[in-house]
Amino acid sequence: MLVILAEEEKSTVKALIIAAGRGERFRPYTDRQPKPLISVLGASLIERVILNIKEAGIREIIIVTGYMGEKLRRFLNDGLKYDVKIEYAENKYWRLGNGFSVHAARRLIDGNFILSMADHIFNPKILINLQEYRLHKDECILCVDTNMRCVLDIDDATKVRTDGKRILKIGKKLTEYNGVDMGIFLCTPSIFRALERTIDRGCYSLTDAISLLASKRKMAARIFDNEKYYWFDVDTPLTRRMVEKILPAVENVETFHEKFLTNFQRARHAELHSKMMTDSP
């Protein structure tokens, strides 16, 4: 059973943002700067994540850096300009997998925490919703999009099979799935123990640890099936351009339902047309 958090407990939750990767699919942009600093409509990806976390009432943030980490730290500094407190952890093994990034922050966290990716843009109401719950001991919870209309690249998405309450299976190569991993979690420190076990086995992704917890029925699912809980994985120049066309509508909640599908379809059509023209001899 999930237990509602007391109001005063919400402010004690920290957020962890993993921002260590190379961003290979964004090259050559990431030859010059870390991927989290890529701009979307005038604000960098990671600034958008930080401000959404702040809007959800969380002021303590830990960022795991790796590739070009010093440049990212200089840009964000201590978080004062965003009215948050930022601490940093370093992932020296960022080439191996994002599980190492989460594991690198283990000494800075001793309680439950929100986990987010540095390249995901999302409605902060997702975090507000997620904070309403406290998990049982040793459980974690993953936000799952069962609507899947916000998924811009289904081939690269991490698929999920869920019974509505728990994660049953997770992986990019799942052929039978009913949702997509949104890259937003509420974790207990059990995630660090799961990562230690999977890393010892030579499995370095966060998904490996989630699969381990799921096999023990310790991985809950928070289902989102409504487009108002929008989220976008900005993983390529193509998805960045699509998001820049869609975002102005979805950030205006009053016009969201009217404009979402129209803007989404227009953006996808325009990008497919542009790709066809580019690929033409």
* b/e burial code for range 226-236 (CB count within 10 A of at least 16 → b): ebebbbbbbbb
Cross-strand bridge partners of residue 144: 181, 223
Does pLDDT of 279 surpass 60?
Answer: no
Say yes or no to pLDDT of 47 above 90: yes
What pLDDT band is residue 36 in, cutting at 50, 70 and 90?
very high
pLDDT band at 266 (very low <50, low <70, confident <90, very high): low
pLDDT of residue 214: 93
**Predicted local distance difference test score (pLDDT) of residue 24:** 83
Confidence grade of residue 34 (pLDDT, cut at 50, 70, 90)? very high
Average pLDDT taken over every residue of the chain: 84
DSSP assignment letter at 111: S
What pLDDT score was predicted for residue 183?
92
Over range 208-221, report the average pLDDT: 93
**77 and 281 in contact (C-beta within 8 Å)?**
no
pLDDT value, residue 274: 55
Check whether domain 3-236 has CATH 3.90.550.10, yes or no: yes
Q: What is residue 271's predicted lDDT score, i.e. its pLDDT? A: 54
Question: Distance (Å, rounded) from C-alpha 271 to C-alpha 238?
Answer: 7
Main-chain phi, psi angles of 24, to 5 degrees? -55, -40
Band (pLDDT 50/70/90 cuts) for residue 186 is very high
Quickly state the pLDDT bin for 20 (edges 50, 70, 90): very high
267: pLDDT strictly greater than 60: no
Q: Which amino acid makes up residue 90?
A: E
Tell me: the pLDDT tens digits for 136-185? 888 999 999 998 888 888 888 899 999 989 999 999 899 999 999 999 99
Question: What pLDDT does 12 receive?
Answer: 65
Q: How confident is the model at residue 252 (pLDDT cuts 50, 70, 90)?
A: low
Average pLDDT over residues 84-102: 90
Please state the domain extents for the chain: 3-236
pLDDT (0 to 100) of residue 280: 44
